Amino acid sequence: MTTQAAKQLETFPNPNSARDYHIYMEIPEFTCLCPKTGQPDFATLILDYIADEACVELKSLKLYMWSFREEGHFHEDVTNRILDDLIAALNPRFMRLTAKFYVRGGIFTNVVAEHRKTNWQPAPFVELSQFGSQSNIRG
């Protein structure tokens, strides 16, 4: 295989930086090693973000995620490290990383880490009724 895991995250210019829009990614095959036992830990990562000037390029994100397969990390550590690396590469308006680790010893672990750019506020959420006749604004 010529493709290798890498810590380098590549970006591309946000095609509509004037608008806040939600980018949602599910990464269902994340793995790292337990730092105590060396056994593999499996997780689904959910990345939610609102880009500012840059978006993450998907192939580089995949190779970045692969780079943790042979590394030992506590769940809390790896979740915050990934979020910090993504923030450093993208400088997003908002970013949330949810790591849903599969059961180990009868315990599921979910770690949620979040970043909000200074002075950024989300626009009010608009919820349309299923019939399209009304809208409700939540603030």
Where is 22: in which H helix or E strand?
A: strand 22-33
Buried b (16+ CB within 10 A) or exposed e, 53-84: ebbbeeebbebbbbebeeebbebeebbbebbe
Q: Specify the amino acid at residue 80.
A: N
Place of tokens 């930086």: 17
DSSP letters, 45-95, are EEEEEE-SSEEE-HHHHHHHHHTTTT-B--HHHHHHHHHHHHHHHH--SEE
Q: Tell me the catalytic residues.
A: 34, 41
Q: Which two three-digit tokens encode residue 45?
A: 């990562």
